Amino acid sequence: MDILIKLKKMIKKCAKSINSIVIEDEELCCDMREHFLVSKEGNVEAINFPLLKEYGKGYHIGEDIAEFRKGNAYVIVNMKTGKLLKISDNKGNLLVEDKAIDFESIHEHLEHGYKVDSKHVDFWLERVSPMRDGFSALAWTIYPEGRWFEDEDGFGAEPNEKAEVAYCIISSCPEIVIPYQPMNNVDAVLKILREQKCKIKQKNMKSNKHQSLWKK
């Protein structure tokens, strides 16, 4: 199946997750932001938050979402709700569930796709977009471009010109809503999800307005 078609089907399945993000935004039952200090530069310090004690300072990535790193360990936290999404541990092991990785698509489209079977980050794991309108993206470099293997004399490079990368989409909940897989245009996927969230939010606002009028 074509990756783009597969992604479109996955995006449609995200409707429930998108709705939950909207509801969470509107019905915050417990605000945990008092446990986080955010500087003007975007640095974040967790206060009396034991689950993040070992990470030190983090970084605000937008919409009250912060990321914390320590070595290879990587975690994302919603500072409003206190919910955490642990991505990897200090040994580089991915901590996400198997359903958060599209093994079939990665095996089919990436030459070194078999490397994901170990669920270990051999190279890089990074965020490639800010958290905006409820969504962000992470990139997992499964195999770097050939020049990365060059020594100081310019020998040892491999023939592949592009890095092999799998992307996932995370929500502000935070949770992985579209599993790791090859994506030709991550920005396009984010745009669709963000637009859908805005539509659902507007629909809910109209519905609440009508309900208020009926009560009067």
More confident residue, 6 or 166: 166
Q: Is the pLDDT at 45 greater than 90, yes or no?
A: yes
Q: Is the pLDDT at 80 greater than 90, yes or no?
A: yes
Q: Is the pLDDT at 8 greater than 90, yes or no?
A: no
Q: Is the pLDDT at 168 greater than 50, yes or no?
A: yes
Q: How confident is the model at residue 75 (pLDDT cuts 50, 70, 90)?
A: very high
Q: How confident is the model at residue 213 (pLDDT cuts 50, 70, 90)?
A: very low
Q: What is the pLDDT of residues 47-67, one digit of tens each?
A: 999 999 889 899 999 999 999
In this prediction, residues 96-109 reach a mean pLDDT of: 95
Joined tokens for residue 9: 């089907």
What is residue 171's predicted lDDT score, i.e. its pLDDT?
A: 92
Nearest to 55 by CA among 73, 81, 77: 73
Strands (E), 16-154: 36-38, 43-46, 58-62, 65-70, 73-78, 84-88, 124-127, 135-143
Joined tokens for residue 134: 């409820």
- Measured CA to CA, the distance from residue 38 to residue 58 in angstroms comes to 9
Q: Is the pLDDT at 191 greater than 50, yes or no?
A: yes
Q: How confident is the model at residue 1 (pLDDT cuts 50, 70, 90)?
A: very low
Cα torsion angle, 94, 100, 102, 103, sign: positive
More confident residue, 201 or 42: 42
Round the average pLDDT of the chain to a whole number and report it.
Answer: 83
What is residue 10's predicted lDDT score, i.e. its pLDDT?
A: 66
In this prediction, residues 97-106 reach a mean pLDDT of: 95
In this prediction, residues 10-23 reach a mean pLDDT of: 59
